[in-house]
Structure 1
Amino acid sequence: MRTVPLSERQLASFADKHAGQIPFDTGPRHLAGPGDARHVTHGLAAAGWTTLSDPLDAEIVMRSPDHRYRLQFDPQSTTSAWWRLRAENSDNGRGWYAEFGKRVPAEVLSGLTDALAAPASPPQDPWEPVTRAGWRRDEAGAAHSPDSLCYIERRPMSEFHHLPSWHIEARDARDAQYPGPRIWHAFLDEHVPDRLAGAFLTALTDRSPLQRGMFDHTAHHSAVKEPSPLSPQQVVDAHTARMKAIGAQVRAARRRQTTPAPRLPHTAAVQPTAHR
C-alpha cells in the first residue's frame, strides 16, 4: 500500500487551534486531561496509517499499512472506552486488544502508538520506568503514583487468562479504603507485547508536564497548572517536528527492508590439486 503522508492542511488545523491558546504546564500526567486526540492520530498518519472512516464522522477508524493493526476512536461511545486498539494474529505473533478511557492523556497513549508504528525495539522490563519514576509498589505488586490517584497492576494468570494482563486506573480521592470515581482506565490484554506496555508506562510516569490551554477545564481539579515557558508556536513546532521524525523513521525502515543484501565478490572456483 502506498503511504499517504500527513497533509499540510491537517497540520495547519492543529496549528490553528493551538496557536491561539496560552499553554500551561499541567501535571502529574495522569490528571492532565485528554488533550488533543491528534497527538495519536497524526502520529499514526505520519507513519502511513490510513483512515477508513468518513471524514465527517465523529468516529475515527485507522488501519496500519500491513492491515494487521486497527485503531478506533469514538468520542460518542456509550461505554467507558473511547479508544480501542486491536492486532490480528500474524506470523509474527498473537493478536491482542487494548482499550483506553476517554480522559486518558493523548500524549500518554501516543507513547504506545508511536512505539507500535516504529521498528521493533529490544525487549525491556515494563516496570523499569515505573520504578525509575519513584512510584510505590505494594505487597501485591501494584504500583501507585506519589499522589495515590493512579495505580498500575499486572493481574496474574487465572483460569480464563494464561498470561497476566495490564490494568491501569486513575481515580478521584475519597479516602484510603474506598477510592473515588474512576477518571480513566487502560486495559492491555495478556498478548500485548512488553515493549508496547513499557512505552505506555514510560509516557505515563514521565515527570515532565503536559501542555494544556489556559482555559482548558478537562484537567482534574487536583492537577497543578502553571504558565508554561513554551510559547504557543513552540508547542505547534514540537508537534510538527515529531510528525517529521516519525515519517523519517518509517521511511528509513522501509529502505532497510527493500535494500537488497550486498552481493559477495565473484571468485574463481579452486580446483583440487591432483595427487601425483
Structure 2
Amino acid sequence: MPLSGQQLEEFARRHAWRIPFDTSPCHLAGPGDARHVTHGLAAAGWKRTSDPLSPEIVMSSPDQRYRLDFVPESGMFAWWRLWAGSTDTEPGWTATFGELVPAEVLAGFTDALVVPAPTKHGGPLDVVDAAGWLLDERDTASSPDAACRLERRSDSLLSWQVEVHAPDRGRHSPRLWHASFDDRTPGHLVNAFLTALVDPTPLQRGMGDRTAHYSAVQTPSPLRPEQIVEAHTDRLNSIRATVRAARRQNSRPSTSRAAPTAARPAARR
C-alpha cells in the first residue's frame, strides 16, 4: 500500500498530544494538517513522485493522468495545484488553492476526485444557496459573514473562484486565501469543495495552530485526540474500499450479447 502503517502512526503521534479546539467558521480555520489531503490520495493508490526529503510534495495518480503539487513557502499565490491531463474523451483542467485553505476542505475536493462521480448534481450556486449564502444576479454569492465569496468568472479561463477576506473589511482587505477552478473542471468536484466549505461542523485545530484570521472562534472540543485519529483512519479505509470496489466493477467483462450478424450493417452509419 502506498500509505504505510508508519505514516499513520506518525499522524497519530502528532495529534495524540494536541488539545483539540473546535474552530469555526471553516473558511477562517487555517490550513490544518496537510495529511488530510495526501493520506486520502495515498489510500486511493496515488504515489509520491518527488524527493522524500524535500518539503515539496508531488503526487501522481495510478494512471498518471492527475498530479498534485504542494509547494509550501513558494512565494506564489497558490501553494496547492492539481492538474488533470486530457484524454480522448475528456479535456484537461487545473485547480489551484492558496496557502491558508483548510486541508479538510481541499480533501473534500480530492476525495471526490478519486471515487466515482455522482450521476446527477446541481450547480455551485445551488450548494451555497442551500447553506444560506447570499446570492446576487451576477453569478456570485457571499457567506453570511461576508468573508467568503464565490464568483463565476467570464473574463478569463477561470470558471469559478472562491476568495476569503477579513470579515470586518470584506473585499477591501488583503485576500487570505483563494481557490480557483478553470472552466473545464468537472462540476461535481467544484460542488464537493463547496460542500466541505459550507459545512457548519467546526474543524479541529490544536492550541497555537495558525488560523486564517484572528476572528476565528475557538472553543475546547468535546472530541478526544484519539477520536480525531480514528475518524481520519475510518475515512481512509472508506476511500480505499470505495476505490477497490470501483476498480473491480470496471474490470468485469461485459455480459451483454453481441448483436446478430445480420443487424450489424444497419448499425454502421
What is the TM-score normalised by the length of structure 2?
A: 0.91
User: What is residue 248 of structure 1 aligned with on the other side?
Assistant: 241
Q: Cα 1:230–1:174, aligned 2, differ >3 Å: closer, same or farther? A: closer
Q: Which runs of 5+ in 2 are unaligned?
A: 258-269
Q: Is the 8 A contact 1:25 1:212 kept in 2?
A: yes
CA distance in 1, matches of 2:204, 2:192: 20
Which amino acid counterpart does residue 167 of structure 1 have in structure 2?
Answer: Q
114-123 or 39-48: which moved more? Answer: 114-123
251-260 or 94-103: which moved more? Answer: 251-260
Aligned 1:105-254 pairs, distance under 5 A: 105-125=102-122, 126-156=124-154, 158=155, 161=157, 165-173=159-167, 175=169, 179-254=172-247
Per the alignment, in what secondary structure is the counterpart of residue 127 of structure 1?
Answer: helix
TM-superposed deviation, 1:219: 4.2
Aligned 1:85-96 pairs, distance under 5 A: 85-96=82-93
Post-superposition CA distance 1:111-163 (Å, at most 9, x none):
0100001112223122222111100112323110111011000112x4x54xx
Per the alignment, in what secondary structure is the counterpart of residue 81 of structure 1?
Answer: coil
164-173 or 94-103: which moved more? Answer: 164-173
CA distance in 2, matches of 1:189, 1:45: 25
Post-superposition CA distance 1:238-262 (Å, at most 9, x none):
0011011100111111111122234
CA distance in 2, matches of 1:112, 1:137: 23
Aligned 1:18-97 pairs, distance under 5 A: 18-97=15-94
Per the alignment, in what secondary structure is the counterpart of residue 179 of structure 2?
Answer: strand
Give aligned pairs, total: 256
Q: Cα 1:188–1:39, aligned 2, differ >3 Å: closer, same or farther? A: same
Q: Cα 1:214–1:139, aligned 2, differ >3 Å: closer, same or farther? A: same
Which amino acid counterpart does residue 250 of structure 1 have in structure 2?
Answer: V
CA distance in 1, matches of 2:46, 2:173: 38
TM-superposed deviation, 1:173: 3.9
Q: Is the 8 A contact 1:173 1:179 kept in 2?
A: no
Which amino acid counterpart does residue 161 of structure 2 have in structure 1?
Answer: H
TM-superposed deviation, 1:195: 0.5
Per the alignment, in what secondary structure is the counterpart of residue 93 of structure 1?
Answer: coil
Q: Is the 8 A contact 1:58 1:76 kept in 2?
A: no
Q: Of the candidates 96, 102, 119, which is equivalent to residue 99 of structure 2?
A: 102
Q: Is the 8 A contact 1:135 1:143 kept in 2?
A: yes
CA distance in 1, matches of 2:256, 2:180: 47
Per the alignment, in what secondary structure is the counterpart of residue 250 of structure 1?
Answer: helix
Aligned-residue RMSD, C-alpha: 1.5
CA distance in 2, matches of 1:67, 1:87: 9
User: What is residue 250 of structure 2 aligned with on the other side?
Assistant: 257
